[in-house]
Amino acid sequence: MRYQFVDCRWELGKPERGRELYLASHIPGASFLDVEGELSAPPGGAEGGRHPLPAADDFARAAGKAGIGSGVFVIAYDQGMTGGAARLWWLLRHFGHDDVAVLDGGIESWLGPLRSGEEAIASAEFAPRPRADDVISAEELEAELGGDLVVVDARAPERYRGEHEPIDPVAGHIPGARNLPYANAESVPDDLVSTEDEIVVYCGSGITACVDILALERAGVGARLYPGSWSEWSSRGLPVERG
């Protein structure tokens, strides 16, 4: 099996920053995938939020260009669990490629040499096999509110409580959701680990929620992603809770 490092660094509101960081310094041999341009589809209005999931064919082209295909084990990294690497981890599994891991601690944990500039990446053929059991739509989520579903909000506590909302038009959270900020995702509460109810995770736009899903997976718990997240929910006039 061949190994392929993939640099997924990004900064919200700075679409060129990830590639700039990659060109300045990256793990030798690593390819680069852009969170906004390749790990997301262009936003198209109220549905799908700021970072909709990419179409299967579009993701397959991007993954193949990055050297990802059959027989390739992917090691994704970012600045240290800022969402990009976990997003690639989730997308690869969503499209049927389970040979993937995330570099714990990000590029700062890498003890080897670094290299600047572009890399000559051998392209591969990525054959997407999309799953349907790892996502939930806004309509499905709204219909299940108040039931046995456990909804987890990965945003910072002040955004969850509705005290500060710098991005989306409405402050607050999905009614009944509990807060597990992605920055503290490794501290998964025991009741989430032991629950027999289904877990759904969302964030602002479906990126950092993947950090929580990865942490839950490491704790032995599966969870579904609500891809549109708060950026979709808050724009559609759906129920909101604060505090």
pLDDT at 45: 66
What is the residue-averaged pLDDT of the chain? 96
Beta bridge partners of 199: 150
Report pLDDT for 8: 98
25 close to 115: Cβ distance less than 8 angstroms: yes
Catalytic residue set: 203
**Measured distance CA(171)–CA(161) in Å, rounded:** 8
pLDDT for position 46? 60
The sheet with strand 2-7 has its strands ordered as 31-32, 2-7, 72-77, 100-102
pLDDT, tens digit (0-9, with 9 covering 90-100), for 42-72: 998 667 899 999 999 999 999 999 999 999 9
Claim: this prediction has a pTM higher than 0.85: yes
